[in-house]
C-alpha cells in the first residue's frame, strides 16, 4: 500500500505511512483532499501538501473526475457497475434491475413507514453471491438513529438462504454522537473502513437526525447546516464511485405548507435532493395489510414510477407472493454462535400443517 503512495512526488516511506495512518490510503483519496487536511499531518507543510495533491491528481485514473475521459473509458467504467437486488422482483424492475453500485440512493418518508426495514433487507441481499443478485460483501452501517436490529437481520436472512449470524459478522457499525462526528466519520474513517472490510454497501440512517436536533428552525444557521450536510453526502458519493459500492441514505419527512401534494416533503432542503442520485419516497398504503408504497421520484435515467410491497416478519415481498415462514429462536442480540444446534434451527423453514375441518354431528330428533 505504502509503495503506491511513494510514487507521488515528495513522498517517501515515512510520509507514506503517516498518510495511511491518517486515513489517506489511496492515490485518489489524496487527490481529492484539501491542502489543509494534509498539512495537519505532522511533517507535511502546506507547500508539500499542494505538491502531493497535484501529483496524485495527475496519476489518478479519473474515477473522481480529475481528468477528462474518452467514450471508451466511460463504457469501461459503466460496465464495472454491479446490481444489487432488493429481494422484490417488482421493485427491482422499476429500479432498472436493482440498486447500482457507484450511485447514492435516498429513501425518505415519515416515521414508521418501513425505511429501516428495507435497509435491513438490503444488508442481507448484499451478502448474497453475485450469481443470486447480491454483491458478495458486507455493510458499513452509520447508525445515527440507533436503528440497527440484529434480531431483524436474523429474521430476514434465512429467507434468502443466509445464516443470520454470518450476515451480522459482515456488518461494521458506527454511532456518531452528533453532526460533527458524522462528518468526521465520513471524511476521515469511511474510506479506510470500506477498504479494510471489503464492504459492498454503505448505509446512513439517517442524514437528518442530528441536524434537526442541533439546528432546529434557526434560519441564521441554515447555511452552516446545509454546507455540513453537503460535505457528508459528497464524501459518501465519492467513496461509492471509488470503491464501486452501493450507497444508501434515509431521510425524514417534514410538513409542507405549500398546499401541494400530500402535505409533507423531504427534510433538509434541496441540498439532499441535489446530492442523492435516486430519490425514493416510502409511504404507508395499508397498515392492516402491511402494504408500503415505494415511489421513484427522481432519477436521471429512470421514469417516475411506483410499486406496492408487503412488509412481513421475514422482510418485504411483492404483492401476491406468499411469505416464507421461518422458525426463529429467541437469542440475545449480543451473543452469537453459542449453540450450533440453534443456528441449524434458525435456517429451518417451518412446514405448514394442513388445517382439518371440524365436523359437527347433529343429534337426530
Asked if residue 357 is part of any domain, the answer here is no
Query: Does the structure show a pLDDT above 50 at 260?
Result: yes
Question: Are 314 and 280 part of one and the same domain?
Answer: yes
Domain assignment present for 325? yes
* pLDDT > 70? residue 352: no
Instruction: Examine the domain organization and report whether 141 and 20 are in the same domain.
Output: no
Task: Please state the domain count of the chain.
Answer: 2
Q: State how far the Cα of 233 lies from the Cα of 262, in Å rounded to an integer.
A: 27
* Length, in residues, of the chain: 365
Element (H, E) at 344: helix 340-346
Under the banding of pLDDT at 50, 70 and 90, the label for residue 261 is low
Domain shared by 199 and 249, yes or no: yes
Residues 50 and 88 in one domain: no
Q: Per mean pLDDT, which range of 132-136, 195-199, 213-217, 246-250 is the poorest?
A: 213-217
Same domain, 110 and 247: yes
- Domain of residue 335: give its range: 83-345
Is residue 299 located within the same domain as residue 335? yes
Instruction: Mark whether 153 and 288 lie in a shared domain.
Output: yes
Mean pLDDT of 239-248: 94
126 and 6 assigned to the same domain: no
- Whether 262 maps to a domain, the answer reads yes
Q: What is the pLDDT of residue 130?
A: 96
Residue 74 lies in a domain: no
- Taking the C-alpha atoms of residue 296 and residue 305, their distance in angstroms, rounded to an integer, is 5
Q: Is 361 within the bounds of a domain?
A: no
- Whether residue 364 is contained in a domain is answered as no
Cα distance between residue 328 and residue 155, in whole Å: 7
pLDDT at 65: 53
One domain, residues 45 and 156: no
At 206, the pLDDT band (50, 70, 90 cuts) reads confident
Which residues lie below 8 Å from residue 346, measured CB to CB, with a gap of 6+?
A: 154, 158, 163, 164, 326, 327, 328, 329
149 shares its domain with 42: no
Question: Which CATH number goes with the domain that contains 51?
Answer: 1.10.150.20
Could you tell me if residue 196 is inside a domain?
yes
Residues 151 and 26 in one domain: no
Q: Exposed, middle or buried by CB within 10 Å (0-12, 13-18, 19+), for 41?
A: middle
If one compares 35 and 335, the residue with the highest pLDDT of the two is: 35
Average pLDDT over residues 341-355: 34
CB 325 within 8 A of CB 349: yes
Q: What is the CATH number of the domain that holds 134?
A: 3.40.50.300
**78-128: per-residue pLDDT in tens?**
999 999 999 999 999 999 999 999 999 999 999 899 999 999 999 999 999
* Residue 271: how many other CB atoms lie within 10 Å: 18
Residue 352 domain-assigned (yes or no)? no
55 and 147 together in one domain:
no
Mind listing the pLDDT tens digit for each residue in 38-76?
A: 888 988 999 888 888 888 877 766 555 556 788 998 899
Tell me which H or E stretch contains 266: strand 264-266
* Residue 304: partners with Cβ closer than 8 Å, 6 or more residues away: 295, 296, 297, 298
Q: What are the residues facing 105 on neighbouring strands?
A: 248, 278
> Which of 46, 25, 51, 56 has its CA nearest to residue 38?
46
Amino acid at each position: 500500500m505504502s509503495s503506491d503512495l511513494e510514487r507521488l512526488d515528495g513522498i517517501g516511506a515515512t510520509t507514506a505511512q503517516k498518510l495511511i495512518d491518517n486515513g489517506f490510503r489511496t492515490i485518489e483519496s489524496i487527490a481529492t483532499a484539501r491542502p489543509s487536511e494534509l498539512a495537519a499531518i505532522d511533517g507535511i507543510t502546506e507547500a508539500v501538501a499542494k505538491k502531493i495533491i497535484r501529483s496524485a491528481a495527475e496519476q489518478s485514473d479519473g474515477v473522481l473526475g480529475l481528468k477528462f475521459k474518452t467514450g471508451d473509458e466511460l463504457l469501461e467504467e459503466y460496465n464495472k457497475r454491479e446490481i444489487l437486488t432488493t429481494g422484490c422482483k417488482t421493485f427491482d424492475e422499476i429500479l432498472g434491475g436493482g440498486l447500482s453500485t457507484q450511485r447514492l440512493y435516498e429513501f425518505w418518508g415519515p416515521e414508521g413507514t418501513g425505511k429501516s426495514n428495507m435497509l435491513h433487507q438490503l444488508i442481507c441481499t448484499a451478502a448474497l453471491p453475485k450469481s443470486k443478485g447480491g454483491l458478495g460483501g458486507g455493510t458499513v452501517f452509520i447508525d445515527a438513529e440507533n436503528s440497527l436490529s440484529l434480531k431483524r437481520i436474523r429474521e430476514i436472512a434465512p429467507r434468502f438462504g443466509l445464516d443470520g449470524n454470518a450476515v451480522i459478522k459482515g456488518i461494521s457499525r458506527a454511532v456518531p454522537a452528533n453532526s460533527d462526528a458524522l462528518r468526521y466519520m465520513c471524511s476521515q474513517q469511511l474510506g479506510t473502513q470500506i477498504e479494510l472490510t471489503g464492504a459492498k454497501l454503505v448505509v446512513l440512517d439517517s442524514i437528518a437526525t442530528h441536524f434537526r436536533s442541533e439546528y432546529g428552525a434557526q434560519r441564521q444557521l441554515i447555511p452552516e447546516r446545509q454546507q455540513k450536510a453537503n460535505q457528508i453526502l459528497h464524501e459518501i458519493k465519492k467513496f461509492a464511485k471509488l470503491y464501486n459500492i452501493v450507497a444508501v441514505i434515509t431521510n425524514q419527512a417534514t410538513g409542507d405548507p405549500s398546499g401541494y401534494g400530500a402535505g409533507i416533503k423531504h427534510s433538509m432542503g434541496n441540498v439532499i435532493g441535489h446530492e442523492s442520485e435516486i430519490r425514493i419516497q416510502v409511504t404507508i398504503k395499508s397498515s392492516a395489510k402491511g402494504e408500503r408504497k415505494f415511489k421513484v421520484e427522481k432519477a436521471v435515467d429512470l421514469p417516475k414510477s411506483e410499486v406496492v410491497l408487503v412488509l412481513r416478519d421475514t422482510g418485504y415481498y411483492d404483492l401476491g407472493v406468499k411469505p416464507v415462514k421461518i422458525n426463529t429462536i429467541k437469542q440475545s442480540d449480543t451473543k452469537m454462535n453459542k449453540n450450533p444446534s440453534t443456528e441449524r434451527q434458525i435456517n429451518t423453514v417451518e412446514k405448514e400443517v394442513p388445517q382439518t375441518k371440524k365436523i359437527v354431528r347433529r343429534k337426530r330428533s
